[in-house]
Amino acid sequence: MICYLSRNYKGVNNAANKAKTDIEYIMEQCGYRNVGLKQTRYTNAVIAFILTLSGVLKSVFCLHKGDVLILQYPLKKYYTFVCCMAHLRGCKIITLIHDLDSFRRRRLTIPHEISRLNHSDSIIVHSERMKNWLHENGIKANLEVLGVFDYLSDRQSSGKNLAASHPRVLFVGALSTFHSDFLYKLGRSPRSFDMVLYGNGFEPDKFEGQVDHKGYTRSDDLIATAEGEYGLVWYGSSLEGGVGPEGEYLQYNAPHKLSLYIRCGLPVIIWKKAALASFVEENGIGICVSSLLDLDAIITQMTKESYNALRMNVAKVNERISQGYYCKEAIQKAYAKLSPEIK
């Protein structure tokens, strides 16, 4: 049987926990068995530690020979322990990666993280580039590509704000110069489009040009009320793509931000060398650029017919990610390749 390990999450206001709780819900709807405790969302560190540890220990005794256990990674200090105990009980492990700590935050060395992940029998990765990077660094497990993260919400985009005569580019995230200095550089650049910013940390005294700062908005509310014609997926300090650790990581990961924009009904703007640029192009859901300095000319030349075609394609992908399509497909592919080994 396919199983998963639920745990405590300290709220779902950040993208990482939102993605993980969505995937847990998708697995529950698929009928997979939770071998941990019921999902909780306590913010107290002591309570959170006790609940997660209790769920990990419980899982060891709830697994049976022939089971396949899906783990969401990172699982901090518990990952290797759970994998080893599951294998001792005759189970297989499918790991679904959310972040690579050796790559993004440099908390682990690459050999250390590869050694951890090699406890898995199958791994679901964000993109073909992440798949290739893991292969090059010594991963032995079967690798399946997710493509894009699903994004669950009861809210739907109204589309009522998507026909402005003056185009607007929307960005959601940390808005300080420390986290998103490219926004302030874009503000100082010649442009004919307006910018709509959602998030905390905005420094208005450092921003030049037209901007509409909406402040922090819950993702569910944003889906129903987002104002803008395009959603921007960009990281770092530069108007050129791929600069800095976050920008470099965009070559490999699937940003949850992109899924949020799709749920808002917005065509996306992304660096042309990003891992998901091929997904954007193949599905016709946005614009891929080398530099944000090229953006003004591209948006200015966009015809109404071309823009409406992008929106129609976004609606198709939106329907899929709102129903857990990509997660379900990746899990089934990973499971199918393990099935001959499961007795």
Dump pLDDT digits (tens) for 121-157.
999 999 999 999 999 999 999 999 999 999 999 888 8
CATH number of the CATH domain containing 268: 3.40.50.2000
Q: Is residue 97, in this structure, part of any structural domain at all?
A: yes
pLDDT tens digit sequence for 237-273:
899 987 877 788 899 999 999 999 999 999 999 999 9
Give the model's pLDDT for residue 195: 94
* Same domain assignment for residues 332 and 278: no
Instruction: Using the predicted structure, report yes or no on whether residue 294 has a pLDDT greater than 90.
Output: yes
Q: CA–CA separation, 221 vs 198, rounded Å? A: 12
Instruction: Using the predicted structure, report yes or no on whether residue 342 has a pLDDT greater than 80.
Output: no
* Same domain assignment for residues 82 and 179: no
Give the model's pLDDT for residue 11: 67
* Same domain assignment for residues 316 and 329: no
CB atoms within 10 A of CB 161: 18
pLDDT tens digit sequence for 63-79:
999 999 999 999 888 99
Walk across the sheet containing 211-215 and list its strands: 211-215, 194-198, 168-172, 230-233, 268-271, 286-289
Task: Give the mean model confidence (pLDDT) for residues 214-235.
Answer: 93
Residues 6+ apart with CB under 8 A from 288: 270, 271, 272, 274, 277, 280, 281
CB atoms within 10 A of CB 164: 12
Give the model's pLDDT for residue 15: 67
Q: Is residue 161, in this structure, part of any structural domain at all?
A: no
Residue 58 belongs to what domain range?
A: 2-150+323-341
**Percentage, residues of the chain above pLDDT 90:** 73
Domain tally for the chain? 2
Tokens matching residue 233: 């997926």
* Same domain assignment for residues 135 and 37: yes
* Same domain assignment for residues 45 and 178: no
pLDDT tens digit sequence for 41-56:
888 889 988 988 898 9
Which residue, 169, 149, 111, is CA-closest to 327? 149
* Same domain assignment for residues 127 and 198: no
Give the model's pLDDT for residue 161: 47
pTM of the predicted structure, to 2 decimals: 0.93
* Same domain assignment for residues 15 and 111: yes
* Same domain assignment for residues 128 and 88: yes
